[in-house]
Amino acid sequence: MRKKISQRNARRYQKELEAMKVRDYARARQWQSDYPGGVHLGAEQFSHENHVCVDTAQKLGYYLIVKVDRNDYVQLYAVKP
């Protein structure tokens, strides 16, 4: 049996849903100009070492490849274009 909710809660839930949709849309649009045709899959905070490595590879014009290995480690590769 379903539990009834008040109109006040229904409106609050509706506003929260709209706010989530706006945030998701904004997050997706944020990356679209940087990577046309690309899809943003997520974000991860790296250590300073990894940040420097990725930043250097990007500045040198390498393609960045990300793979997940069998042990659930994220592997980063820089490949010459």
What pLDDT, in 10s, does the model give residues 14-69?
999 999 999 888 877 776 666 777 777 777 788 888 889 988 998 999 998 888 88
pTM: 0.48
40 conformational bin, left if phi > 0, alpha if psi -120 to 50, beta if neither: beta
For residue 75, list its beta bridge partners: 67
Q: Would you list the domain boundaries of the chain? A: 1-40, 44-81
The two tokens of residue 28 are 């997706």
- The pLDDT score that the predictor gives to residue 32 is 67
Q: Are 59 and 52 contacting, i.e. CB atoms less than 8 angstroms apart? A: no
The span from the CA of 24 to the CA of 17, in Å, is 11
Residue 2's SS3 state is: coil
- The pLDDT score that the predictor gives to residue 24 is 83
- The pLDDT score that the predictor gives to residue 31 is 66
The span from the CA of 17 to the CA of 48, in Å, is 36
- The pLDDT score that the predictor gives to residue 59 is 92
